[in-house]
Amino acid sequence: MLNAETNQYRFPEGFWWGSAASATQTEGAADVDGKGKNIWDYWYEIEPNRFFNGVGPQKTSQFYYKYKEDIQLMKEIGHNSFRMSISWSRMFPNGKGEVNPKAVLFYNQVINELIKYGIEPFVCLFHFDMPMELQKMGGWVNREVVDAYVSYAKTCFELFGDRVKKWFTHNEPIVPVEGGYLYDFHYPNEVDFAKAVQVGYHTILSSAKAIKVYKELHQDGKIGIILNLTPSYPRSQHPADVKAAILADAFFNRSFLDPSVKGEFPAELVQILKEEAFMPVINEGDLEIIKNNTVDLLGVNYYQPRRVKAKENLPNPKAPFLPERYFDYYIMTGRKMNPHRGWEIYEKGIYDILKNLRDNYGNIECFISENGMGVEGEEKFRDENGIIQDDYRIEFIHEHLKWVHKAIQEGSNVKGYHLWTFMDNWSWTNSYKNRYGLISINLNKDGERTIKKSGQWFKSVSLNNGF
């Protein structure tokens, strides 16, 4: 058992220990109590074959019905904070118009239950789940959707902001850009770089406008954004490899990091968009809004590094434009892998991100908002007492936390660590293929919850504020 007195790695007082989850991935109840369809509900209806084992979002982990049990389990495994998201299409079935009173009741109950158990709610407003009625208008391509989002955000601030003091405008906003408009892994499955750029721009604008509204309400909380920052490492120090890494970073990290924290877009990216004639439509006054409404708090999601090299071959000039026109990926010899997810495990990446934020982004207040390990077929690790012996997950968290601790020792302004995720959840097109939770979900037994070995370990880390 860990002991606070003998901790080798001691974290600052008040460190945020917890986990993160999203509405669509956990709530279920996809078509009850007035909830409208989002893009996942619709996509599953028309193409269920795109989802692992044909399992869609209609049921997921039943948090909508089991939230009281789940929040008790959060307390039991040492949570003092928890990041959730609000479903836009549950609050506004058509994306705008009249608010759904049953949704308001549900989120009030969840927030109050968290506070009752001493768990601070961190609330994200958008986690990949565009209301389908707004997607029919073009989703984030359409500027009207920005206005609908800001209205939705203001409603949430007014309804819940007396108790919620940590707000986040978006989770991983680069992902809907990549998935929906570049690489075909989210609805609407388009491959259109011009739309991708407009979607990214409108997302940043919506974030800044929501921040402006929040500040005008004077609710004494903090508002930020959650970004998946994936360090871009060059193959070598050859100038061409280094430039490739800089450009990859501009496309996938700095495209959202710079405007969110600094209020401006990276010069390298703007230059490429101008040269390639892909600049978004920008209205008068937009850039001033973005400049003047930066985040108070930054969530950092980290899973894997990005390793790049200079282009080996000329791109096909007739193929759809993609960022990979400027770099190639490469596989580093001897890399450590999570074979289930196909992702490299590189723990030092989390330190490199935090060091970059310290040195180049004003040491903004931040926290690790997601980090985790998805494993397929975890049932084979369940022992005779019914406990999943996920020592691999304990090692994964342990090794990443060592690098977080080092960053803190060197002055990084990082305030917490949230694992992805609290309980096994539905993971988009992967459904339940890979399990990430501290809590196991048995789908064959009405979603029965059991604490994994990692959950017990996490409890001791939280209670001792280190290990």
pLDDT, tens digit, 9 for 90 and up, residues 254-297 = 999 999 999 999 999 999 999 999 999 999 999 999 999 999 99
Write out pLDDT tens, residues 187-240. 999 999 999 999 999 999 999 999 999 999 999 999 999 999 999 999 999 999
What are 354-393's pLDDT values in tens digits?
Answer: 999 999 999 999 999 999 999 999 999 999 999 999 999 9
Of 120, 172, 178, 347, which is the active-site residue? 172
Residue 410 is among the residues annotated as catalytic for this protein:
no
Catalytic residue among 27, 133, 370, 378: 370
Confidence tier at 6 by pLDDT (50, 70, 90)? low
Helical (H) or strand (E) element with 277: none
For domain 4-464, give the CATH number.
Answer: 3.20.20.80
Average pLDDT of span 168-185: 98
pLDDT-derived band at 171 (thresholds 50, 70, 90) equals: very high
The CA–CA distances, whole Å, from 328 to 236, 312, 331 equal: 13, 7, 10
* b/e burial code for range 231-251 (CB count within 10 A of at least 16 → b): bbbbbeeeeebebbbbbbbbb
Read off the tokens for 233: 């490492």
Burial status of residue 318 (CB atoms within 10 A of its CB: 0-12, 13-18, 19 or more): exposed
Assign 3-state DSSP to the chain and report helix, strand, coil percentages, each to 5: 45, 15, 40
Angle, CA of 16, 18 and 23, to the nearest 5°: 125
What does pTM read for this prediction? 0.96
Bridge partners of 450? 440
**Average pLDDT over every residue of 419-448:** 95
Q: What are the domain boundaries of the chain?
A: 4-464
